[in-house]
Amino acid sequence: MTSTLTQDQRDLVDAVGEFCRREVTGELRRPHDDALYRKMAGLGWLGIAVPESYGGAGRGMRDLVLFLETTACHQAPIGGFATSVIAAAAYEKFGSDEQKRRVLTDFLNGEVLSISMSEPGAGSDVGALTCRAEKREGGWVVNGQKTWCSNAHLAEHILLVARTSTEGGKHEGLTMFSVPAGSEGLEIRGIDTMGGREVNDLYFTDCRLPEDAVVGVEGRAWPQLMAGLNTERMILAAVMLGTARRAFDDTVAYVKQREQFGRPVGTFQALRHRLADHATELECTSLLVHDVADRIDADPGTLFPREASMAKLKATEFAKAMALDGMQMLGGYGYATEYGMEALLRSTVVSTVYGGTSEIQRDIIGKSYGL
């Protein structure tokens, strides 16, 4: 953890860390534990980045990063939090007063939120969305399929991005909608992955929404999405920074006690030097993620596409490399569920894909230099 924290931030890290050491046990090896999540809601931590005017703590991006990094490092099973924060930020920025009151209150009380953009033919190319919402009889009717929707099976509210017009460019005519998870005409099917069932296909068949289901301005979902990129990328960077730290700590602990040829394997230069490199990379990643968070707090109305993409790219790629090398250094135990390194590897591999692939992040960074 960096040395530039305020006393309040240190107290937050200490409190969250102590809570996780006490509450997160081996039996909680699942992506999301509702009971634990609601305990955190009761402590006010879920609303750490929600403005005080809506019942949150009103703290900034740095504090949110610290919370995410700490919970990820302790492997707290609160997988629903990341998507909830991303969706909550959109409701806070663009939602109506009633949407903010209803959705943010549910979030602060421990309900999960989800956001649905990807489709079978539209992943990195968000402008290729075809799931359609049509005005009809004083409301909206949604038809189409969405995919890879994280936590939709847990969610109380789903923030849907659908096409409402085919006029203009491909990024025009997209609209955000607030969809209650139990809406008639919505079917949620889990997708089996190497990480379990954390993502879903969503099928909309004449799913009726009220006229006031629109979040923000009709046809303006693209600029609204762009306004949330800082939040999404920093959340993912923080989670992977904490996960990388856990993989590093677990690897160091193991090579200190595992003996071969009469001494701990960590004393062999081959492993000692690899861990020295990883330690350096961990420090660099931490400094980058925290620095970008501080820049966002200093100028919250400004987008930092280059810096946020750098943070997401660096943290996810390092976390994947650290977990993979950790598995190698643990030998056969790295493959065993008892030691948990295989779970860290599974969670890090997908991090370079969701929330904008590493290739997309590199493209954004390159374009920011006029390339």
DSSP state letters, 206-258 = EEEEEGGGEESSTTBHHHHHHHTHHHHHHHHHHHHHHHHHHHHHHHHHHHHH-
7-112 homologous superfamily: Acyl-CoA dehydrogenase/oxidase, N-terminal domain (1.10.540.10)
| DSSP notation for 82-110 | HHHHHHHHHHHHH--HHHIIIIIHHHHTT
* Packing angle of the helix pair 61-73, 229-257 (nearest 10 deg): 30
**Catalytic member of 69, 232, 307, 342:** 232
Among candidates 44, 156, 142, which has minimal Cα distance to 99?
Answer: 156
pLDDT at residue number 202: 97
Do strands 186-193 and 263-264 pair parallel, antiparallel, or not at all (unpaired)? unpaired
Whether 232 is a known active-site residue: answer yes
pLDDT at residue number 3: 64
The whole-chain average pLDDT of the chain stands at: 94
pLDDT at residue number 229: 80
Q: How far is CA 313 from CA 61, 123, 220, 239, 253, in A?
A: 18, 18, 27, 12, 27
Q: How far is CA 287 from CA 4, 5, 13, 23, in A?
A: 10, 12, 16, 29
Higher pLDDT, 29 or 33: 33
For the chain, where do the domains classified as CATH 2.40.110.10 start and end?
114-220
For the chain, where do the domains classified as CATH 1.10.540.10 start and end?
7-112
pLDDT at residue number 30: 74
Residue 282 makes CB contacts below 8 A (sequence gap 6+) with 244, 245, 248, 318, 322
pLDDT at residue number 278: 98
Model confidence at 339, pLDDT cuts 50, 70, 90, reads confident
Residue 366 makes CB contacts below 8 A (sequence gap 6+) with none
pLDDT at residue number 27: 61
Among candidates 63, 84, 314, 127, which has minimal Cα distance to 92?
Answer: 84
Q: What span, in angstroms and rounded, lies between the C-alpha atoms of 85 and 295?
A: 19
Q: E strands within the chain?
A: 112-116, 132-136, 139-150, 155-163, 174-180, 186-193, 196-210, 214-215, 259-260, 263-264
For the chain, where do the domains classified as CATH 1.20.140.10 start and end?
228-367
Segment 302-313 mean pLDDT: 95
228-367 homologous superfamily: Butyryl-CoA Dehydrogenase, subunit A, domain 3 (1.20.140.10)
The CATH topology of domain 114-220 is Butyryl-CoA Dehydrogenase, subunit A; domain 2 (2.40.110)
| pLDDT (tens digit per residue) in 93-117 | 999 999 999 999 999 999 999 999 9
Residue 293 makes CB contacts below 8 A (sequence gap 6+) with 60, 61, 62, 64, 65, 234, 238
